[in-house]
Amino acid sequence: MDKLVDMGFVVLNIVDQPLFSNYLSYVHHAGVTCPEKGVFVFEIPHIPLARGNYKIAIQASIAGKDADYLSNAAQISVIDGDFYHKGIITKQSHTPIYAEGNWIYSK
For residues 49 and 94, what is the distance between their CA atoms, to the nearest angstrom? Answer: 12
For residues 64 and 59, what is the distance between their CA atoms, to the nearest angstrom? Answer: 12
User: Burial, 46: exposed, middle or buried (Cβ in 10 Å; 0-12, 13-18, 19+)?
Assistant: exposed
Could you read off the pLDDT tens digit of each residue along the chain, which spans 107 residues? 567 888 999 999 999 999 999 998 888 766 678 777 878 888 888 788 999 999 999 999 988 899 999 999 999 999 998 888 889 898 877 888 888 888 898 98
Domains of the chain, earliest start first: 3-78 (2.70.50.60)
Q: What is the pTM of this model?
A: 0.80
